[in-house]
Structure 1
Amino acid sequence: MRSLKALLLAPTDIAPLVWFRLVFGVTMVVEVFRYLSRGWVKSYYIEPAFFFSYYGFDWVNPWPGNWMYVHFAALGVLGAMLALGLLYRVAAPLFWLGVTYVFLLDQTQYLNHMYLVCLLAFLLIWLPGGQAFALDARLGLARPRDTAPAWMLWLLRAQVGLVYFFGGIAKLESDWLSGVPGAMFLQGWTLTEPLAEIEWAARAFAFSGAAFDLFVVPGLLWRRSRPWAIGAVLLFHLTNAQLFRIGIFPWLMLAVTPIFFEPATVRRWLERWVPWLASKAPSKASRKASSKASPKTSTGPESPRWQEAGLAFFGLWLAIQCLLPLRHWLYPGQVNWTEEGHNFSWHMKLRNKEGRVRFQARDSLTGERWKIDPRSLLSNRQYTKMSTRPDMVLQFAHELARRYEREGRPGVQIHADMHVSLNGRPRQELVDAGVDLAAQPWTWRSASWIVPLRDAPLAFSRAEEEP
């Protein structure tokens, strides 16, 4: 433990942290531009009449009127400030608060990469991002430094590595390894469409995806295997960008890959490509001297107490990030079916799920029954997401009951007829239609009204059947 502590506190070149700050900020500016230019701010956060909350965050609501445009514009400015290292100590926490606020507004907008952005933005708050290759250091607003405690770099590596690792663990399940979901996804790109009809090709796609996620990080860290790992990273993410159209995720993961390289290599890139951000041109002698300096003089003003606090934060953060993706094992049933514990677990593009849901109301006083069209309150995207998510169906049922109560009709029962197809299986009932969902509590505990998946593991021959 003493040796591990010394290793984590040892000074290391700050260049990979700077690279991470730079590419993260640029990627966020691009993402904000996409939201503003494609009309997503309006369609996602201004037009809908109802938003699906995360448990415990139903108090988070969009800004009124057109203020969401201002919010996204501010995120773009803050992202640019992060990239440049300008007023970093102000920009980093404000960006994290702003992007996390957007993330929490509507659960139908959940994307693994947006969750990852929130986590990485939080980590940036604690890194010395404005002290090297930054306008803060160049303008004298922050004390320049060449090194940082090694735990900061390993924390970033671990966070990105855990995304890959748990993504690989999630692929070690029967449906994915059968090749059926992979065959469905291969149909989404003209180049790979012929492979969808070949069973061995679909299975190879499934197994190679799991192997990549599980072994890519060790491959990047080991110099001898790094060229092969880099090739795999390029192939994997560029293919995903074509097959899944998942926004910035492939590009963000490609951009942060150099944090696994030797810091000296990353520093050479920074000195070549962004020399105007350097506070001074470091000589070989100064870099050699800084690499031999003690932690106290080379990693900045951290006192032993702050170093201990940093290690405690490092351990606590990694413990949470390792346990949270495993929580779905506490729930009964298959997570891809019930969705209980699915979010925040790095289950990325593992299943093909289609469904429909219809609502019926019953007045408990008069016995009157009537059907409800959810599309009158939801956008097409919201309805599509809800049609496969029992927790969202429950939230919407509660909202319907509240609306009827405000209209002077208390005690209206809400029932849902919900049938879903998982990975090409025939549609099955997912929510017990006989249960009054308005009377069911919204809780993190397992829901007894979710109907379990009934049939046997999927066979590849069923991939071409209509859901």
Structure 2
Amino acid sequence: MSARARWDALWAGEVDPLVYAILRVGVATLVLLRVSDWTAPFLQLDHHAWVSGLDHAPGADPAETPWLEMPLVPGLPSPHGLVAAALAWARLPLAGLVLLGIRARPAALLLAIAGYGLMALDAARYFHHLHLLWLSCALVALTPCDARLAVTRRGGPSAPRWPLTLWRLQALVIYGAAGLAKLDPRWLDGTSLRLIAERFPFEGVFWDAGLGLVGHAGMATAIALWELALVPLLAWRKTRLLAVALGLALHVVLDTTTMVSTFGASMALFLVTFLPWERRLFRTSSRSADPAST
């Protein structure tokens, strides 16, 4: 296969637009859940106890730790001022527009800018799951996601494939980076996992069973290998469905063991992109539509 053919196999072609509608609705729903606190009584989403659901909500108790002013770049506005408050409250209507599909792409872009802007104003409130959430919003802005959330019929309109490839590549980067970072000897011998478990609550049937069977070192090694294995399994078309199942299982284990906020749900959306959305047979052309050409 030539280099051009390999490039086209990765980026060219068409897919069912349903996948983009699912990503749009899924990301918007996660943002709405994460930036509002009405779910607090029955759905804990925060990775650290001192962060409220609104993150930068005006009127928060300044005595709570850490009430710091640590901008990512010196000279940025205070994370407790009007700029931060405006960015914080702008997330709610923007996420609503994305959810409803009203100017979804520009709204998703503004949502990503607002989210990353807040993180820049207050680096003390940086979390991995928030970075992934705002990155997902930026990816939504690149997708043709204005289609209805409905199963499209055979021969119906298709969407370009290249945005789906971006989502897939990002998922491979996430799992690959996570797995490679865990090849550190302090992780593989269980030291890091033991220290994390002492700092944050770890519990549940998977945690208890793992400790009893293989201990901290065994579980740490298994997690690293699990994440690394997902990269080739997701990349190879013949093993993608198996990899999606393994990826979902990994996040079920993590989510039922400790608090990871919206990280597992965000990664589930990334895994959805590896389902067979390609629509090779659904493309119609003027040549095939012209009776004289047959």
**TM class, shorter-chain normalised?**
0.7 to 0.9
* 50 and 10 in structure 1: CA distance in 2 versus 1, 3 angstrom threshold: same
Matched, 1:246 2:260: yes
More relative contact order in 1 or in 2 (CA 8 Å, sep 6+)?
Answer: 2
What's the CA shift for 1:259? 0.5
Matched, 1:291 2:283: yes
Distance in 2, Cα, partners of 1:9 & 1:182 = 42
* Contact kept? 1:85, 1:134, Cα under 8 Å: no
Which amino acid counterpart does residue 6 of structure 1 have in structure 2? Answer: D
Matching residue of 1:171: 182
The partner residue of 1:18 within 16, 21, 32 is 21
Matched, 1:133 2:125: no
Deviates more, 1:162-171 or 1:223-232: 223-232
Give deviations 1:138-176, integer Å, cap 9, x for gaps.
xxxxxxx83333221111111122111100010111001
1:260 alignment partner, SS class: coil
What's the CA shift for 1:182? 2.6
Matching residue of 1:279: none
Spell out the pairing of 1:172-321 with structure 2 (5 A cutoff): 172-185=183-196, 188-191=202-205, 192-193=207-208, 195-196=210-211, 200-220=214-234, 222=236, 224-263=238-277, 290-293=282-285
Matching residue of 1:114: 130
What's the CA shift for 1:27? 1.0
What's the CA shift for 1:193? 4.3
What's the CA shift for 1:116? 1.7
Matched, 1:77 2:93: yes
Matching residue of 2:6: 4
Give deviations 1:205-238, integer Å, cap 9, x for gaps.
1121111211214324556544543442233212
Matching residue of 1:59: 76
Q: How many residues align?
A: 259
Distance in 2, Cα, partners of 1:222 & 1:42 = 39
1:164 alignment partner, SS class: helix
* Contact kept? 1:60, 1:101, Cα under 8 Å: no
2:273 alignment partner, SS class: helix
1:169 alignment partner, SS class: helix
* 43 and 31 in structure 1: CA distance in 2 versus 1, 3 angstrom threshold: closer
Distance in 2, Cα, partners of 1:95 & 1:121 = 7
1:41 alignment partner, SS class: coil
* Contact kept? 1:165, 1:213, Cα under 8 Å: yes
Unpaired segments ≥5 residues, structure 1: 136-144, 265-286, 295-467
Give deviations 1:85-136, integer Å, cap 9, x for gaps.
1122431222122111222221121111211222222222222222x1169x
2:143 alignment partner, SS class: coil
Give deviations 1:348-377, integer Å, cap 9, x for gaps.
xxxxxxxxxxxxxxxxxxxxxxxxxxxxxx
More helix by share: 2
Unpaired segments ≥5 residues, structure 2: 42-51, 151-155, 287-294
1:211 alignment partner, SS class: helix
* Contact kept? 2:77, 2:83, Cα under 8 Å: no
Q: CA RMSD in A?
A: 3.3
Matching residue of 2:166: 155
* Contact kept? 2:12, 2:161, Cα under 8 Å: yes
More strand by share: 1
* 134 and 82 in structure 1: CA distance in 2 versus 1, 3 angstrom threshold: farther
Give deviations 1:352-410, integer Å, cap 9, x for gaps.
xxxxxxxxxxxxxxxxxxxxxxxxxxxxxxxxxxxxxxxxxxxxxxxxxxxxxxxxxxx
* Contact kept? 2:182, 2:188, Cα under 8 Å: yes
* Contact kept? 2:14, 2:161, Cα under 8 Å: yes
Spell out the pairing of 1:392-407 with structure 2 (5 A cutoff): none
Distance in 2, Cα, partners of 1:84 & 1:263 = 23
Distance in 2, Cα, partners of 1:43 & 1:71 = 9
* 115 and 288 in structure 1: CA distance in 2 versus 1, 3 angstrom threshold: closer
- Provide TM-score, normalisation by structure 2: 0.74
Which amino acid counterpart does residue 151 of structure 1 have in structure 2? Answer: W
What's the CA shift for 1:5? 3.8
Give deviations 1:253-283, integer Å, cap 9, x for gaps.
123321111016xxxxxxxxxxxxxxxxxxx
Distance in 1, Cα, partners of 2:76 & 2:39 = 25
Matched, 1:50 2:68: yes
Sequence identity (%):
21
- Provide TM-score, normalisation by structure 1: 0.49
Which amino acid counterpart does residue 61 of structure 1 have in structure 2? Answer: S
